Amino acid sequence: MKYFVLISFLLIGGVSFSQENADNVDASDTTKKEKKEPEPIVPKWLLKSLYGMNGTQSSFVNWNAGGRTNISLLGYISATANYQHPKFNWSNSLDLALGGLKYLDRDEDGLQKTDDRIELSSKLGYRLKEGKAFNLSLIGGFRTQFLDGFQFPNDSVRTSTFMAPGYVNLALGIDYKPNDNLSVFLSPFASKMTFVRDQVLADAGAFGVDSAQFDATTGAVISRGKQFRGEFGAYFKLMYNKEIAKNIEMKTRIDLFSNYVDNPQNIDVNADVLFTFKVNSWFSASANFTVMYDHDIQITDSNGGVGPRTQFKSVLGVGVSYTMRNFEEDKKKKK
């Protein structure tokens, strides 16, 4: 009898010990399952760059409606580098574009530019209050072109070149940035600097600089044209980016500047909207529309009239593009 009791006691103890171990294993497994996976580390520098090449080719043989055989190419780079910090942010962007058109039916016709841009902008902002969308920001911008521009069909008259014109903008103001898609900046303290680093164009008073003074009798140059013009006034900048549909992105920028000293009612306008249509990781299409107005720039229109004019440019293209980034985009923010 005593052996039966002893064996029963050992069996009950063994079962209890086994059950306790099973419970511990289950609890351990549950704890492991309840542990959250570590969140991905987001780099402080968010880098993104887009490289693209668009091209067209048209051929005409005995074509009654008319036309000239031509080929055109346009290359572009759009890059951003943004630094993330709880107290301040630093946003930088670089846009480069260069394109040309060549008529193939006559060798004497030179290459004509279709696009030529160098644009660099930087914005350093300090958050005024934690969790709020208002920032005290300092903005800087630079804009010029790569190659000479000519007054076609007369390709012997140069109308522009590198740093003629060149524009530098500086502004201190308040930036309203409620999300990553929208930025509204207003500055009562802004400067616009125009450079014309070509003496021939400066003597002609191109792009608003003071022209040269000539002797009325002999035509000799009394004083050379200025290669620099500085302006002080108010500045407004709006930027809005959004994915308006699947694989269709819109990027909008509007710059307004008013000179306090010289005709403040004449507002300089530089507006740009870009639509990007993504086919896949390599192929894409784009439509770029630009509107500019500067009261200081004198333009000769098709009727021979000279004066300030609204400038409009549109560039449509289909080609290849490739995007590089060091972070994953949040699709929810883009909707």
27 found inside a domain: yes
Q: Over 60: is that where the pLDDT of 6 sits?
A: no
Q: Can you give the pLDDT at residue 105?
A: 79
- How many structural domains does the chain have? 2
Q: Over 80: is that where the pLDDT of 302 sits?
A: no
Residues 270 and 155 placed together within one structural domain of the fold: yes
Question: Per-residue pLDDT tens for 202-258?
Answer: 999 999 999 999 988 888 889 999 999 999 999 999 999 999 998 899 999 999 999
Residues 195 and 175 placed together within one structural domain of the fold: yes
Q: What residues make up the domain containing 5?
A: 1-35
Alpha-carbon distance of 164 to 148, in angstroms, equals 9
Q: Can you give the pLDDT at residue 17?
A: 41
Residues 320 and 224 placed together within one structural domain of the fold: yes
pLDDT-derived band at 38, boundaries 50, 70, 90: low
The CATH number of the domain holding residue 135 is 2.40.230
What is the share, in percent, of the chain residues with pLDDT greater than 70? 84
DSSP state of 257: E
How high is the mean pLDDT of the chain? 84
Residues 247 and 278 placed together within one structural domain of the fold: yes
Residues 127-152: what's their mean pLDDT? 90
Question: Per-residue pLDDT tens for 115-131?
Answer: 999 999 999 999 988 77
335 found inside a domain: no
Q: Over 70: is that where the pLDDT of 279 sits?
A: yes
48 found inside a domain: yes
Of 133-142, 236-245, 280-289, minimum mean pLDDT range: 280-289
Question: Per-residue pLDDT tens for 157-216?
Answer: 889 999 999 999 999 999 999 988 999 999 999 999 999 999 999 999 999 999 999 988
334 found inside a domain: no
218 found inside a domain: yes
How is residue 221 written in tokens?
């140059």
190 found inside a domain: yes
Residues 157 and 18 placed together within one structural domain of the fold: no
| Number of helices (H), then strands (E), in the chain | 3, 18
197 found inside a domain: yes
Q: Can you give the pLDDT at residue 330?
A: 60
Residues 89 and 26 placed together within one structural domain of the fold: no
Q: Can you give the pLDDT at residue 275?
A: 93
Task: Indicate if the alpha-carbon torsion angle 306, 308, 310, 312 is positive or negative.
Answer: positive
CB 82 within 8 A of CB 180: no
- Higher pLDDT: 212 or 2? It is 212
Residues 8 and 148 placed together within one structural domain of the fold: no
Residues 30 and 130 placed together within one structural domain of the fold: no
147 found inside a domain: yes
Residues 75 and 117 placed together within one structural domain of the fold: yes
Residues 192 and 242 placed together within one structural domain of the fold: yes
Tell me if residue 25 falls in helix, strand or coil: helix
Residues 147-161: what's their mean pLDDT? 85
Residues 4 and 89 placed together within one structural domain of the fold: no
DSSP state of 38: P
Q: Over 80: is that where the pLDDT of 307 sits?
A: yes
Q: Can you give the pLDDT at residue 120?
A: 96
Residues 18 and 129 placed together within one structural domain of the fold: no
- Higher pLDDT: 223 or 85? It is 223
Whether cis (ω within 30° of 0) applies to the bond prior to 153 is yes
CB 202 within 8 A of CB 184: no
